[in-house]
Amino acid sequence: MSNVAELNRTYGIAGQIRFLKGPGDMAVVEIENDLGCASMTLQGAHLVGFQAVGEQPLIWMSDEAVFAPGKSLRGGVPICWPWFGPHATDPGLPGHGPARTVGWKPVASSALEDGRTTISFEMIDTDATRKQCAHPLRVQLHVTVGRTLQMVLETTNLGSTPFILGDALHTYFLVGDVRQAQVEGLDGCDYLDKVAGGSHTQHGAVTIASEVDRIYLGTGNSCAISDPVMGRRILIHSEGSASTIVWNPWIEKTLRMGDLGPDGYLKMLCVETANAADDVVELAAGATHRLAVEYSSEPL
Ligand code: TA6
């Protein structure tokens, strides 16, 4: 099912879910209700925006993001699956896995009685995806839009042997000025520092005054971003996640990457809900793993 008219006939909901052609002529879905709104591309089931009614946008999207087939989008919520970061053994495979740059299809949608709207997607299995991961897996993303944003990444092992799964919702949050923001809730956690190298222990809140790229291990199920410039705290509640990645590219890496815009790094902070590094999941044959997250904000 590829064309917009057919998608709207099957999964559209009047006044709540609408499929259309977006930037780069890519299929997008707009989700809206009296509580909040979101938009996603079908490529990568990539959420590119979320805002609760009466609140500021929660998610940052680069003005320089390139909307093109097979290209990863800078910003929003890229899905890293079925590995996080570089592939464990094959450096020729794409960082963060294929999921964020291949086609996904809607598989369900509904208007909930409490006013929220939910839509589910499944990654389309092709020769190209099987070339990157031959093990038979099914992956679905369930998104529920209301005053909060709920996302559940569900992986089922369709094979007859266990699979080592790495995954992440690689979320770019909008902040007023990253230099004044802090990540709370990781105090005492050990982390792998991908900038300085080595393993360290976090003391107090995480602050950003240079490039930060850390995989916190064995993290709990909640953390937050305090943002005095926007006057809010973004709350991040998770289930099925043992790792939290905190990333800001800062000045030099932003210039090297080229798709954040010259000062993009000041307005974004990635706090990623994941299972990465030592926290990867051994998924038994026939088993399903749920990586779930809920985002909301409160006045600071
Ligand atoms: O999650 C942090 C990270 O692994 C960084 O090392 C940086 O590479 C970032 O992801 C973005 O990766 P991408 O492949 O989207 O450029």
pLDDT at 29: 98
What average pLDDT does the structure give for the chain?
A: 97
Of 213, 244, 259, 268, the residue with max ligand 1 atoms within 8 A of its CB, to mutate for a pocket test, comes to: 213
Rounded mean pLDDT, 233-242: 98
For residue 170 and ligand 1, the question of a CB distance below 6 A is answered with: yes
- Binding site membership of 95 for ligand 1 (Cβ less than 6 Å): yes
How far from 119 is each of 79, 116, 176, 214, CA to CA, in Å? 16, 10, 30, 32
Q: What is the pLDDT of residues 91-139, one digit of tens each?
A: 999 999 999 999 999 999 999 999 999 999 999 999 999 999 999 999 9
pLDDT band at residue 2 using 50, 70 and 90 as cut-offs: low
Closest atom of ligand 1 to 272 CA is 1
Q: Do 168 and 276 form a contact (C-beta atoms < 8 A)? A: yes
Tell me, using a 6 A CB cutoff, whether residue 96 lines ligand 1. Answer: yes
Retrieve residue 185's tokens: 């809730």
Please state, in angstroms and rounded to a whole number, the distance separating the CA atoms of residues 193 and 204: 16
> Is 204 close to ligand 1, i.e. is its CB under 6 Å away?
no
Gap from CA of 237 to ligand 1 centroid (Å): 22
Question: Separation of 123 CA from ligand 1 center, angstroms?
Answer: 21
Nearest CA to ligand 1 atom 8: 85
Query: CA 112 → CA 143, 222, 227, distances in Å?
Result: 12, 26, 31
121 lines ligand 1 (CB under 6 A): no
Q: Is 46 touching ligand 1 by the criterion CB < 6 Å?
A: no
Strand partners, 235: 224, 296
Find, among 108, 183, 118, 120, the residue nearest to 149 by Cα: 118
Averaged pLDDT, 201-206? 98
* Mean pLDDT, residues 235-244: 98
What are the pLDDT digits (tens) for 241-276? 999 999 999 999 999 999 999 899 999 999 999 999
Distance CA 142, CA 133 (A): 22
Cα 126 versus chain centre, distance: 22
Measured from the Cα of 194, ligand 1's closest atom is: 6
Active site residues: 170, 272
Report the greatest alpha carbon distance in the chain. Answer: 53
Atom of ligand 1 at shortest range from CA of 257: 16
Tell me what the mean pLDDT of segment 136-164 comes to: 98
Token pair for 50 = 């979320």
| Distance linking the first and last C-alpha atoms of the chain | 45
**What is the CA(85)–ligand 1 centre distance, in A?**
7
Please tell me the distance between residue 84's alpha carbon and the centre of ligand 1 in angstroms.
9
Q: Supply the pLDDT for residue 183.
A: 98
Distance CA 19, CA 28 (A): 6
Q: Are the C-beta atoms of residues 63 and 46 closer than 8 Å to each other?
A: no
Q: Are strands 243-248 and 199-201 parallel, antiparallel or unpaired?
A: unpaired
Return the ligand 1 atom nearest residue 96 CA: 14
State pLDDT tens for residues 37-69. 999 999 999 999 999 999 999 999 999 999 999
Alpha helices in 183-249 (DSSP H): none
Residue with tokens 């990645």: 245
* 213 phi and psi angles, rounded to 5 deg: -150, 90
- Nearest protein Cα to ligand 1, atom 13: 95
pLDDT at 1 over 60: no
pLDDT value of residue 262: 85
* Ligand 1 mean position, distance from CA 134 (Å): 24
pLDDT in tens, 72-82: 999 999 999 99
User: Does the Cβ of 77 fall within 6 Å of ligand 1?
Assistant: no
Note the pLDDT of residue 252. Answer: 95
Give the Å distance between the CA of 246 and the centre of ligand 1: 10
Contacts (Cβ under 8 Å, ≥6 apart) of 70: 43, 101, 102
Give residue 263's pLDDT.
Answer: 92
Q: What percent of the chain has pLDDT over 70?
A: 99
- DSSP assigned state of 128: H
Whether residue 258 has its Cβ less than 6 Å from ligand 1: no
